[in-house]
Amino acid sequence: MPEAPVPGAPAAEAPTTEADQPAASPRRVGLALLLGLLVLLGAGALKVSARLDAEEELREVTASVAVPSVRVILPRPVEPRPLALPGRLQAWAEAPVYARTNGFVARRLADIGDRVQAGQVLALIDTPDLDQQLAAAEAAVGTARAQRDLAARTAQRWNELSARNVVSQQATDERRGDLAARTAQLSQAEAEVNRLRALTGFKQVTAPFDGVVTSRAIDVGGLIVSGSTSTPPLFTVTDMSHLRLYVRVPQAYTGSIRQGMKAEFTVPEYPDRSFTAELTRTADAVDAQSGAMLVQFTVDNPDGALKPGGYAQVRLELPPQASAAPQLRVPASALIFRASGTSIAVVDGEGRVTVKPVRIARDLGAVLDIASGLEPGDRVIDSPSDAIRSGDQVRPAEVQG
């Protein structure tokens, strides 16, 4: 039996069913559809934007591939650098001393390494044959003089007789002629004596100037034969107070050679010591075989440290030519060879190419010195394409000094 409701208590709520819920409003449905449409439109926009970005990136990549990338270098100014060349030292004066008379070496008074003065006796030669020839010549002079005196007295008598018409004029002229012949014979005999006396003066072998004996080819008792230069000289005297330094300068550097310029050099025996030389003479001609010009430097050698005939490594500080423009140095790989001549491609700040004709001053192998055609601020393309032309667009990859 059901309980009776308590008076004053709230009535219990009746349970609800699906049939009792209210229907969705059309406004809410519209908002939901709009929201879904917006989501779909946003997703489509994102997809279209991604595709457009991909197409733009593809165009940029295509454009970048179409513009070649090049390596750019900056030409360096050519600074004066010392020129190192080999040189050869020679004595200021060197004289081979030969014999002027035949004989045997009686005494030898000098040897190699001796310092000698001008006129100092180096050796004495015994000349027995010459002595006998001189004695015979002096006797011949006496005979010729006696004959001349007799002819003179005879001619004088005949002149007196001819003046009195005692003898014929023909006979008188014959006596005068005989006197002239005898006088000539006396002069000839005296000349022979003077010649032999001069040869006897060569018994003493003397030094021609102050210097050092650098060779000796005789000894006491040796046979001396004069008049032959095929045999070694008796002595060789060398003046080493000054030396000549000969250097062959390549033709490319001859324009910088100036009279009086200085040079420094070293020799193998003194690797830590430097010597100074002054240019005094040039050949003023380029040798066709070596392609170089011979120049002569003068070296003071007061202590005798330098030796004639020695090798030297010469260092020349060549000044730039007064008429020459500043030169720029670029690698040889930057050159472009065409029918119009050699040229170099440069690029400006906007990546546009200009091909400039250039003139090469010196080819140093890996690098070149450019005399004209380039400016100090130009950016040079290294290893350019053979098809590159002025006006092409390029993309500089890097700049090197």
Helices 128-163, 169-201: crossing angle, 10 deg rounding: 160
Segment (H or E) for 397: strand 395-400
**C-beta of residue 373 within 8 angstroms of C-beta of residue 340:** no
**C-beta of residue 347 within 8 angstroms of C-beta of residue 71:** no
| pLDDT band of 29, cuts 50, 70, 90 | confident
> Which tens digit of pLDDT belongs to each residue from 65-112?
567 788 888 888 877 667 899 999 999 999 999 988 889 999 999 999
How is residue 176 annotated by DSSP? H
Average pLDDT taken over every residue of the chain: 83
> Which tens digit of pLDDT belongs to each residue from 167-186?
888 888 888 898 899 999 99
Q: How far out from the chain centre does Cα 265 lie?
A: 13
* pTM for the structure as a whole: 0.57
The residue among 313, 317, 244 whose CA lies nearest residue 283 is 244
**Residue whose tokens read 């011979």:** 294
User: Is residue 260's pLDDT more than 90?
Assistant: no
Phi, psi of 18, deg, nearest 5: -60, -30
| pLDDT band of 275, cuts 50, 70, 90 | very high
* Distance (Å, whole) CA 369 – CA 80: 12
**C-beta of residue 271 within 8 angstroms of C-beta of residue 241:** no
Least confident of 19-23, 115-119, 226-230, 335-339: 19-23
| pLDDT band of 114, cuts 50, 70, 90 | very high
Q: Which domains does the chain have, with CATH numbers?
A: 70-78+324-400 (2.40.420.20), 128-197 (1.10.287)
* Distance (Å, whole) CA 139 – CA 137: 5
